[in-house]
């Protein structure tokens, strides 16, 4: 991999600061975030570095909760996002939608809360509402206690059955309130269940607080801002979404090749808002995602063909398989480690290829990625490998900048997270 700039050796600030949401960036960004979100200040830094001026178009093809698209709008750029996860798509599209009436948003939410408080079965139930068995099985065990779940289901239904200009904003506020303040979940960075459970929670109050914060941000939105468009789609196939040679820049963080099932991070709110109801729905969701872990690898997948001639990717996959055999690992998922690695890098190659017609000459791209050793402690230098793949498809590698380091879960080693900078 040839680079026209050296690899940065130290992050610009300590790890605790590097990935933290600054107080000055709370507006809009704090409406809904998850542990995988990168901070707005990182986007700000690269907008400046890429010299993107007013009216430039910036794409985030794996936009998650919309940090890049939102920051582009705040910086008077035209932000475009692509996201396959329905909950993240909802959040990113809502966080960039400021045209709703702030007072009307609060008034409508308060009316919903008033109706619910007058319902005896909401306040003092004789029978708790719950999810159908097939739906409940999708949740992490003990994600939420029965009484908060009962209240959440009442509220989610009330929001869904009251069509209004505020519905989607209220759903995002619901997702934030339930996960952060009413469930038993914790994130660090794996999603898990806290020891101290919440047998009850003030669901309506927490939801109204989230709605009120949204309204305050909307009321104080900047007078001038860029545009924002978010597509619910797969970043590996963008042909129908974008205009040829329309993109001045790209800034994104795709999934990393590891054993994290990214759908678990948003599972509770995805279920409660009705995006998925059973295993079939979950499978369909996963099939629309970049292959990055063995939980979303399927027999019919063919993205690995994109890296069939890449010697380094093939060697890493073979090293993982050899290590698996040496260690006597025989589970179905462990047998897929090598294939998952090839599918991941093949999917990213497919993405890079798909994107080329829509980039302006000289467009700058930044990909936040992390080295991985999840597969039997075989080191995968994600940024380096993606740089080589991008070069083979006509991109120029500009630099590989250290964003931060983190501790590997298994080995406790320091693992690099980097920004791969490319030019078209």
For 84-122, the pLDDT digits (tens) are 999 999 999 999 999 999 999 999 999 999 999 999 999
d(CA 308, CA 305): 5
166-175 pLDDT, tens per residue? Answer: 999 999 999 9
Could you identify the residue written with the tokens 């960039």? 96
Average pLDDT over residues 395-407: 90
More confident residue, 24 or 221: 221
The pLDDT value given to residue 5: 41
The pLDDT value given to residue 191: 87
Average pLDDT over residues 184-213: 93
Average pLDDT over residues 232-256: 95
The pLDDT value given to residue 378: 81
* Percentage of the chain modeled with pLDDT above 90: 75
The pLDDT value given to residue 58: 98
Residues whose CB falls within 8 Å of the CB of residue 3, separated by 6 or more in sequence, listed in order: 387, 397, 398, 399, 400
284-323 pLDDT, tens per residue? Answer: 999 999 998 888 999 999 999 999 999 999 999 899 888 8
Residues whose CB falls within 8 Å of the CB of residue 31, separated by 6 or more in sequence, listed in order: 91, 94, 95, 172, 173, 176, 210, 213, 214, 217
CA dihedral 331, 332, 338, 341 (to 10 degrees): -120
Q: Tell me the domains of the chain and their CATH numbers.
A: 15-98+223-258+293-423 (3.40.50.150), 103-219 (no CATH)
Tell whether the model's pLDDT for residue 423 goes beyond 70: yes
d(CA 361, CA 178): 45
For residue 145 the two structure tokens come to 């206690």
d(CA 29, CA 172): 12
Name the band, by pLDDT with cuts 50, 70 and 90, for residue 10. very low
CA dihedral 160, 165, 168, 171 (to 10 degrees): -50
Residue 341, CB-side half-sphere exposure with 13 Å CA sphere: 27
The pLDDT value given to residue 71: 96
Q: Taking the complete model, does pTM exceed 0.75, yes or no?
A: yes
The pLDDT value given to residue 408: 66
* Cβ contact 87:282 at 8 Å: no
Burial class (CB in 10 A: 0-12, 13-18, 19+), 93: buried
Average pLDDT over residues 342-367: 97
* Percentage of the chain modeled with pLDDT above 70: 92
The pLDDT value given to residue 2: 47
Name the band, by pLDDT with cuts 50, 70 and 90, for residue 11. very low
The pLDDT value given to residue 148: 97
The pLDDT value given to residue 78: 98
Average pLDDT over residues 398-423: 84
């Amino acid at each position: 991999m040839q680079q026209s700039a050296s690899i940065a050796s130290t992050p610009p600030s300590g790890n605790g600061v590097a990935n933290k949401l600054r107080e000055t960036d709370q507006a809009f960004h704090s409406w809904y975030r998850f542990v995988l979100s990168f901070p707005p200040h990182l986007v700000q830094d690269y907008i400046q570095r890429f010299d993107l001026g007013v009216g430039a178009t910036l794409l985030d093809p794996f936009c998650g909760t919309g940090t890049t698209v939102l920051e582009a709008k705040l910086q008077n750029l035209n932000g475009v996002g692509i996201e396959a996860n329905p909950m993240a798509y909802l959040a990113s599209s809502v966080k960039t939608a400021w045209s709703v009436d702030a007072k009307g948003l609060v008034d409508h939410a308060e009316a919903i809360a008033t109706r619910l408080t007058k319902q005896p079965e909401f306040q003092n139930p004789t029978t708790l509402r719950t999810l159908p068995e097939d739906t409940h099985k999708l949740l992490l065990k003990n994600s939420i206690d029965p009484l908060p779940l009962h209240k959440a289901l009442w509220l989610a239904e009330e929001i869904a059955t009251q069509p209004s200009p505020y519905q989607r904003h209220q759903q995002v506020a619901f997702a934030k309130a339930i996960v952060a303040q009413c469930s038993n979940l914790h994130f660090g960075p794996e999603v898990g269940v806290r020891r101290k459970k919440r047998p009850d929670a003030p669901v309506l109050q927490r939801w109204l607080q989230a709605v009120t914060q949204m309204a305050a941000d909307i009321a104080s939105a900047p007078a001038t801002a860029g545009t924002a468009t978010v597509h619910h789609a797969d970043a590996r196939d963008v042909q129908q979404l974008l205009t040829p040679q329309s993109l001045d820049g790209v800034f994104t963080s795709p999934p990393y090749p590891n054993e994290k099932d990214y759908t678990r991070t948003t599972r509770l709110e995805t279920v409660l808002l009705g995006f998925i109801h059973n295993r079939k729905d979950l499978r369909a969701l996963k099939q629309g995602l970049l292959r990055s872990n063995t939980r979303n690898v399927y027999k019919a997948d063919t993205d690995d063909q994109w890296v069939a001639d890449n010697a380094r990717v093939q060697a890493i996959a073979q090293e993982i398989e050899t290590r698996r055999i040496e260690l006597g690992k025989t589970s179905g998922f462990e047998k897929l480690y090598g294939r998952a690695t090839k599918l991941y890098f093949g999917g990213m190659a497919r993405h890079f290829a798909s994107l080329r017609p829509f980039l302006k000459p000289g467009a700058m791209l930044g990909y936040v990625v992390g080295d991985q050793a999840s597969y039997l402690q075989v080191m995968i230098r994600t940024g380096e490998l993606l740089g080589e793949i991008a070069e083979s498809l006509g991109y120029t590698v500009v630099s590989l900048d250290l964003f931060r380091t983190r501790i590997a879960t298994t080995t406790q080693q320091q693992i690099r997270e980097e920004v791969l900078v490319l030019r078209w």
